[in-house]
Amino acid sequence: MNAVLSDPIRLGMIEAGNRILMAPLTRSRASADGVPGRSTATYYAQRASAGMIVSEGICIAPEAIGNPMVPGLWSQAQIDAWQSVTTAVHEAGGVMAAQLWHTGRASHPSVQPEGQLPVGPSPIAIDGLTFARNGRTPYVTPRALDAGEIPQIVGHYASVAANAREAGFDAVELHSANGYLVDQFLQDSSNRRSDRYGGSIENRVRLLVEIVVALVDAVGPGRVGVRISPASAFQDMADSDPHRLFDHVVRVLSEHELAYLHVVEPGIDGWRDARFERTSPIDSGWIRARYAGNIVAAGGYTAESATRAVESGIIDAVAFGRSFIANPDLPRRLIENLPIAEPNRETFYSGGDEGYIDYPVWDESTVRV
């Protein structure tokens, strides 16, 4: 038994029934106009035993979209569809946060309104391929945002956060990780600006702070989480002085009434950077030395390592991602040391109900291991 994981925890204004959270997972089951699919309510309700569900990334505007078939929350049709999801989760005894997402340069004209260029802090392209409307294709060089456009983006975050509350979400999470727009502004490999949003660390962190303030104003203190990935190189992310940058990020976030800080641990997808191996890794332990609030960690945890981390006080809860796909009853399996089923990767983004709502709860005669 991993009893500590079953302990309830208060995350700001959110009462989580246990310390096993469902991490955001893109599943590409929305309609072309960003409305969650017909089975989305079933999918999330099946997983309502999580201490809290963090939704898949929800785009804040048509220009924020980076991949086909991802949901939004700017229209009434989207709000109504998400309300059916949160109602189902609440009726199943769960709580749910909406992860708010702007992909920035990690997009492609084929998924942008009128085929326009995606935007970013600077005209620097990601080296690699993205999921475009007609399959995998190279990233393009983004259009650099004008400083005068940034208040509108901050406003989109605030209005969509208000929409999330209207749709019944208990909290919102700002996606400031994994090489998407806010992370692009933070790190100097993607931000070469010379205005008030670039150059110094304080300037590069400015957008993050402006959005956090707007979100807290929109939904209230204790209902905003922030996700960061200080050690991730995904989507060409790097910084010339990551320790100093994220020391400032964490200390600034400490000044706001967040529900939690969501940290992506080093080593996701097998990646580790020698910079962090030679010095101190920017992991949840490094963050804990600088942040006294709730820390939720994600990345390669098992029941045993999660139990040790929570018992040590380094983190307060653990977010599990892919394990939740094939294990709708994952908290029970982790707490009781039951077998963990493996998901079918071919159905991660395939659309339809296969590999989405057809995974069984634990049963010795049917579980797939």
Instruction: Report pLDDT digits (tens) over 19-57.
Output: 999 999 999 999 999 999 999 999 999 999 999 999 999
Residue 21 lies in a domain: yes
Averaged over 262-291, what is the pLDDT?
Answer: 72
Write the CATH number for 333.
Answer: 3.20.20.70
Residue 138 CB neighbour total at 10 angstroms:
12
- Which structural domain, as residue segments, surrounds residue 58? 3-347
Instruction: Report pLDDT digits (tens) over 219-274.
Output: 999 999 999 999 999 999 999 999 999 999 999 999 999 999 999 998 644 334 43
pLDDT for res 365:
55
Distance (Å, rounded) from C-alpha 212 to C-alpha 220? 11
Distance (Å, rounded) from C-alpha 146 to C-alpha 120? 10
Residue 304's Cβ-count burial label (10 Å; 0-12, 13-18, 19+) is exposed
pLDDT band at residue 356 under the 50/70/90 scheme: very high
pLDDT band at residue 276 under the 50/70/90 scheme: very low
Does residue 349 carry a catalytic annotation? no
Residue 367 lies in a domain: no
Averaged over 288-298, what is the pLDDT?
Answer: 97
Reading the block at residue 295, the tokens are: 């820390």
pTM for this one?
0.95
Residue 362 lies in a domain: no
Residue 119 lies in a domain: yes
Residue 364 lies in a domain: no
Averaged over 192-200, what is the pLDDT?
Answer: 98
- Tell whether the model's pLDDT for residue 284 goes beyond 90: yes
Instruction: Report pLDDT digits (tens) over 101-160.
Output: 999 999 999 999 999 999 999 999 999 999 888 888 999 999 999 999 999 999 999 999
Quote the number of domains for the chain. 1
Residue 209's Cβ-count burial label (10 Å; 0-12, 13-18, 19+) is middle
Which uninterrupted H or E stretch holds 274? helix 274-278
Distance (Å, rounded) from C-alpha 267 to C-alpha 301? 11
- Among candidates 215, 307, 312, 357, which has minimal Cα distance to 18? 307
pLDDT for res 310:
97
What φ, ψ does residue 68 adopt, rounded to 5°?
-65, 150
- Tell whether the model's pLDDT for residue 367 goes beyond 80: no
Catalytic-labelled residue, pool 139, 180, 356, 359: 180
